[in-house]
Amino acid sequence: MGARAPRPGVPVRGSESGRPVMAALDLLGRRWTMRILWELSQAPTGFRELQRRCERMSSSVLSTRLDELTGARLLTLHSDGYHLTPLGQDLVEALSPLDAWSRRWARETDNAAAED
């Protein structure tokens, strides 16, 4: 349970500045991180079920990510599984335009493929 998650105000990979957004980009740019947040925004979920929903992500990485996100105060673990904190919910809301964007991306990718 190491506290090696990026935090705002601390140098992170790719930025000595400590700018908060750089810490966020480091945290979110790790494999499965955004996916975990995405899944938890649907419903609180236990460890093994979370692993199932992410199509068998490795348990060791899941454990590491849950540590990081808990350390970043975006998650908490209760009896009914992992929850987003209010801060974590805000993050998911901040990321929510991604869904609409990705559909536009899909449309344009189809169009481009049709032209090739």
Partner DNA sequence: GATAGTGATTCGAAAATCGAAGCAAGGGAT
Partner DNA sequence: ATCCCTTGCTTCGATTTTCGAATCACTATC
The residues binding DNA (CB under 7 A) are: 1, 13, 30-32, 46-49, 56-61, 63-64, 66-67, 77, 81
Beta carbon nearer to DNA, 76 or 109: 76
Name the minimum Å distance from CB 39 to its own copies.
10
Q: Is 75 in the site for its own copies (CB under 8 A)?
A: no
- Cα 82 to Cα 65: distance, rounded to the nearest angstrom: 12
Which of 62/95 has CB closer to DNA? 62
In whole angstroms, give the CA distance from residue 52 to residue 5.
24
Query: Phi, psi at residue 85, to the nearest 5°?
Result: -80, 170
Q: Give CA angle at 57 (56, 61), nearest 5°.
A: 150
Q: Between 79 and 114, whose beta carbon lies closer to DNA?
A: 79
Token couple for 25: 């980009």
Q: Binding pattern to its own copies, positions 88-107, x when CB under 8 A? A: --xx-xxx-xxxxxxxxxx-
Q: How far is CA 47 from CA 31, 39, 52, 53, 94, in A?
A: 17, 12, 9, 10, 24
User: Cβ closer to its own copies: 4 or 31?
Assistant: 31
Task: Pick what 76 binds: its own copies, DNA, none; C-beta below 5 to 8 Å, kind-dependent.
Answer: none
